[in-house]
Amino acid sequence: MRVSGPSRLVGELLEEILSQGAGPAPTKIGLMAYGSELGAAEIVAGARLAQESRDLQVLPIGPQVPEGEGLDWIETDGCEADVVAAMEGALAEGRIDGAVALHYPFPLGVATVGRVVVPADGRDLLVATSTGASATDRVEAMVKNALLARAVARSLGKTDPSLGVLNVEGAPSALRALKSLADGGYPLRFGRSGRGDGGALLRGNDLLSGAVDICLCDTLTGNVLVKLFSAFTTGGGRESLGWGYGPSVGEGWPSVISIISRASGASVIAGALTFTAQAVRSHLPRLVEEEFAAARRAGLAELLRRERPQGPEAPAAPPAEPTDAEIHGVDVLAVEDAVKLLWEAGVYAESAMGCTGPVVKIASARKGRAEAILRQAHLID
């Protein structure tokens, strides 16, 4: 029977209301569900907590556990390499829009920006950076970290975040370079230390009080800061505060993979998932490209050339090959020297920064020879 008149109008109106109420499809975030020191149940609890937000769907990745019944699992064997491969595959296929991982060996040039709770008033503070490495040179990395952190801040809706440089090694040089970039037109707003001498160089007190929106530092310092701010109320065995070590950012890097630790509790896991979803919805990789484009217009390339220490020309890299093995234990300041040494010996290698420190990535078939070369050069034990 054909419906017409008022009944048809009412039906069309109800259909329109229902379609509007459905809203956009939820953002799908993969969650590495294997390897937590607190157990898989803690990861599942974090996933369920995050899914209280209707615009987020969590897909745990790893061996399925009874506590995870009802969640849309991407099931794997109990092997970290298999979990990582499944996560990468789901990202490549578009099954998930972003991911939260307990560990990921980002390539050089990619780092993560952590997010912690300020003890003084409960606001958030971005820590740039907390895993990965945006560059091998300390000052260059801190300059790039500022651009990456601004992109992350923008993904959170902070259009004009204030920035300060933690007073660590290289901080005065990094601050000088950033001021030069700002003078060239890059839209950078410096915050002020709450200490008597003021200025944009931060002390520890400024982090506790939340003097700025972004704390700029090197990755190893940032990693320690996130751990301290996340776990200081628990005695260190569990990270219970904040949003984890943050989303991955780097020039030309297309993915949003955020990092938590093996000690992250359910509340931090949930925070990391919602943080990641927000970064995805804000098109974080595009924001990164916008920041670098603005910095290049302000003279970034020339500035980095001036600041970069001059050294001997690097040897040519051997033909590239898949790097499915890692060598740990190389000092962060020597990781590039290790790569160059292997290149000179005809072994293709890449540097990366994992959650536990720097790694040298090589083909598994060449791992033994590579370790022998690095051991002979006293670069590993």
Catalytic machinery residues: 355
Pairwise CA distance, residues 44 & 68, whole Å: 6
Percent of residues in the chain assigned helix, strand, coil, to nearest 5 = 40, 20, 40
Contacts of 347 (CB under 8 A, 6+ apart): 318, 362, 366, 369, 370, 373
CB 163, CB 143: distance < 8 Å: no
Contacts of 120 (CB under 8 A, 6+ apart): 208, 209, 210
Contacts of 103 (CB under 8 A, 6+ apart): 32, 35, 80, 84, 259, 354, 355, 356
CB 362, CB 349: distance < 8 Å: yes
Exposure of 229 by Cβ count < 10 A (0-12 exposed, 13-18 middle, 19+ buried)? buried
| Per-position DSSP letters for 213-262, written without gaps between them | SEEE--HHHHHHHHHHHHHTTTTTSSB-SS-TTEEEE-TT----EEE--T
